[in-house]
Amino acid sequence: MSTKLPTRPAKIHDTTAPRVAIVASEYNPEFVQGLINNTCKELYHIDRGCVIELFGAPGSFEIPLVAEMVASLRRHDAIVALGVVLQGRTKHAEFIGDSVSHALQQVALKHMVPVIHEVLLVGSEEEARERCLDKELNRGVEAARAVFAMLRARDQVKAAAGGR
């Protein structure tokens, strides 16, 4: 687990505002709403013109399918996946975490769009609180910063390819 957030990236100087889709689980709403709020706040802090669309999924397991549908629209520069899975006594949470991780990566690769994975697998409500509601290690802030880091990487690759 990292103990420090990445530094805030600078705004990308482009003619159009970045369009970001947030796909969020409706399960564990107290924690997921904290992630949504912090992601949006940080996205707007980096670029006030950022356009954000929010899409819901019943639970974390369904996030990749909604992300796939959103990516198929081809109207977003990045997708942020937000959810919280609390580990219990069985391996169910691990199975969900593994499945979601793999599926989100497949969406990103298939559509060549950054998919920022912040579907958190946590051991307790205290851990969820630290990562979703507290300011120090907030994964919503981290997700927003990752969006701009990936958009910058995308632009670098495009420039190296002659703008294609």
- Catalytic residue annotation: 92
How far is residue 61's CA from residue 101's CA, in Å, rounded to a whole number?
Answer: 10
Please give the backbone phi and psi of residue 23, each rounded to the nearest 5 degrees, phi first. Answer: -110, 115
Q: Which helix (H) or strand (E) holds 1?
A: none
Distance between CA atoms of residues 52 and 55, nearest Å: 10
Quickly count: other Cβ atoms within 10 Å of residue 9's Cβ: 17
- 44-61 burial, b at 16+ Cβ within 10 Å, e below that, comes to eebbeebebeeeebeebb
Phi/psi at 144 (nearest 5 deg)? -60, -40
